[in-house]
Structure 1
Amino acid sequence: MRLLAFGESFVAGAGDPDHLGWVGRALRGRRAVTLYNLGIRGATTTKLAGLWRGEAQARLSDEEPCRIVFSFGVNDTWEEAGAARVAPAQSLLNARAMLSEAGALCPVLLVGPPPVPDAGRQARIAALNENLRQLCASLQVPFIDVFQPLAADGPWIAEAAAWDGAHPGAEGYQRMAELVAAHPAWRSLTLAD
């Protein structure tokens, strides 16, 4: 099976000394899965919406099952000149377009945005997370909420605060991987037992 993972630096595993991130850890031991980690540091939903399809078409195959997982939104909430990099309404439009178009190609899943140790951004990420959850429900796309458990998680927040203020280390990514891997939607998407 081919799994294409699109998103921002959390998908890429920025800050992970083992260079596995949560995606690599969630798939640990799954030799039958070919992972294409297409996480891009600094990518917003607007950037991802403009490039995911071309990247996916180069990797999708009729010879084996393909799946797409998205995880995005944190970069949209960064404020520049007093406004979010991507307005919340535009984030949802971008998400709707990506999830709808990808869902027409193969099964798709959205992993919600993780928290960062900044109270102001936490509120914006929490609001986006809830809006993404509702969007997924309306589109009938599986959604995994990692925001709430990781916001209360000591290692995630401590590692992110200690490194660059956003990205955890190995223990934080392991915690996110455990949350994702334990979710029925992930097991269903990746054909796990």
Structure 2
Amino acid sequence: MRLLAFGDSFVLGAGDPYHLGWVGRTVLGRTDVTLYNMGVRGNTSGDVAARWRREASDRVVSHEPLRLVFSYGCNDCALQDGALRVEPAETLKNTQIILAEAAALAPVLMVGPPPVPDPLQRARIASVGDALRILAGQLRVPYLDVFTPLRQSGVWEAEAAAGDGAHPGADGYQQLADLVMSHPSWRAFVEDDKPVLTH
């Protein structure tokens, strides 16, 4: 199986001393999975929309099943020169296009954005995450909400605050990976012979 993960620095695993991030941890030991981690630091939903299809096309083969994972949103909610980098309506528009096109190519799963220590940005992320969850449900794409459990635990944000203010360390990424791996939609998603569950 070829697993392609698109998104931002959290997909990339920035801040993880082991350079696995949550994506790498979800397939650790899986020799049957070829992982392409295509997280790019600073990427917004618009950046992912502009590049994912081109990058995916170079990695699709006829003899192996394909899975597509998308996770972003925090950078959309960041301020740049006093304004949001991406307005929420535009985030949803980008995501609708991404998920619809991706679902026509292969099974798709979306992991929601995680929290950040900054309270104002965190509130914006929570709102965008809720909207993304609703949209994914309408498109029948499995959506994994990681914001709420990561926020309740405190490990993710504590590591981020102790680091660069945004990215956690190994424990935070492991916790996110555990949340993903324990979700029934993920377990179905990474098995060749099982259907991908929706909500």
TM-score range, shorter chain: over 0.9
**Deviations, residues 73-118 of structure 1 (Å, cap 9, x unaligned):** 0000001232210000000000111100000000000000000011
Counterpart for residue 152 of structure 1: 152
Corresponding residue number in structure 2 for 1:3: 3
Length, aligned pairs only: 193
Match of 1:166?
166
Aligned to 1:121: 121
Partner of 1:105: 105
Once the two structures are overlaid, the 10-residue window that deviates more, 79-88 or 115-124, is 79-88
Partners of 2:122 and 2:75 in 1: CA distance? 12
Q: Secondary structure at the match of 1:38?
A: strand
The answer as to 2:29 corresponding to 1:29 is yes
Aligned-residue CA RMSD (Å): 1.1
Q: SS of the counterpart of 1:76?
A: coil
Q: How does 1:66-105 map to 2 (within 5 A)?
A: 66-105=66-105
Runs of 4+ aligned structure 1 residues displaced above 4 Å come to none
Structure 1: gaps (5+ residues): none
Structure 2: runs of 5+ lacking an equivalent: 195-199
In the alignment, residue 102 of structure 2 is paired with which amino acid? Answer: A
Indicate the residue corresponding to 1:17 in structure 2: 17
User: In 2, distance between residues paired with 1:154 and 1:51?
Assistant: 33
C-alpha offsets along residues 141-192 of structure 1, whole Å, 9 cap, x if unaligned? 0000000000112221110001111100000000000000000111111118
- Structure 1 residue 34 displacement after superposition: 0.3
Q: What is the percent sequence identity of the aligned residues?
A: 58
TM-score norm. by structure 1 comes to: 0.98
State the alpha-carbon separation in 1 of the partners of residues 72 and 129 from structure 2: 10
Structure 2 Cα separation of the partners of residues 48 and 168 of structure 1: 22
Between the aligned partners of 2:111 and 2:173, the Cα distance in structure 1 is: 13
